[in-house]
Amino acid sequence: MGCFGSKPIPPNPNEVDLTHFELLKVVGKGGFGKVNAITKLDTGELMALKRMEKYAVLQSSSHLKMVWIERKIMSLTASPFLCNLLYAFESERELFLVMPFMQGGDLRFHLKERGTMPVSTACFYAAEMILGLQAMHEKRVVFRDLKPDNMLLDADGHLRIRSAHADEGRRAGVDEIAWRGLVTYLFFLALALSPPPRSPLRAATSVLPAFLRSATTG
């Protein structure tokens, strides 16, 4: 089955593009477009396809910069604890980013649904989060939206950080951090940034309290 219509479209033999995938259901929507679950035709592997309308992206230079940084960071930081970029291509009207499909959802959902988690589970997630942050810091990348919403779980229950809200850093300092995220974590983020977060463990203090609070209130 091809990507458009009922008639199959042979995959492009020269490069990976939309003809190499089968589009499944829409699993999310964003400011510039939507996210589809997809399968790669030659392997059957389940992936996620972020589709962005060029018209929307080109409305302002800040939008274009945001998309470009997201693509660059995702391709720069290869780690089993980050949502890495698998493929990137474009059509006449859209930009496409292909990523691993995270079937487990985000940690905010699980914290809300479960209310509590064992200390061992909280430590497991915290350790994988720190390894993801370490992979970013090794590439001089500063993550600026650290919260459970951006911690995704794969089909095996392993954690990956959604790295869309990251910046390349000349200095990992406060002036390079965009103050975003839930108000719940701003106090802990302030602690993590004073002095600047030179280690993943220090940066992780902005979200660890949520894990530990849920682990100890049951």
| Assigned token pair, 191 | 């602690």
Q: How are beta strands 21-29 and 87-90 bridged, if at all?
A: unpaired
d(CA 87, CA 96): 8
- Tokens at 192, concatenated: 């993590």
Contacts of 90 (CB under 8 A, 6+ apart): 54, 96
CA distances 213 to 9, 35, 85, 115, Å, are 52, 32, 33, 10
From the list 42, 106, 145, 175, the catalytic residue is 145
Residue 77 in tokens: 């930081």
DSSP for 50-65 reads EEEEHHHHTT-HHHHH
Beta-strand pair 33-40/46-53: antiparallel
Specify whether 106 is catalytic: no
Cα–Cα nearest to 50, from 32, 62, 73: 32
Structural tokens at position 102: 């995270």
Residue 1 identity: M
- Residue with token string 């200390």: 119
- Give the active site residues: 145
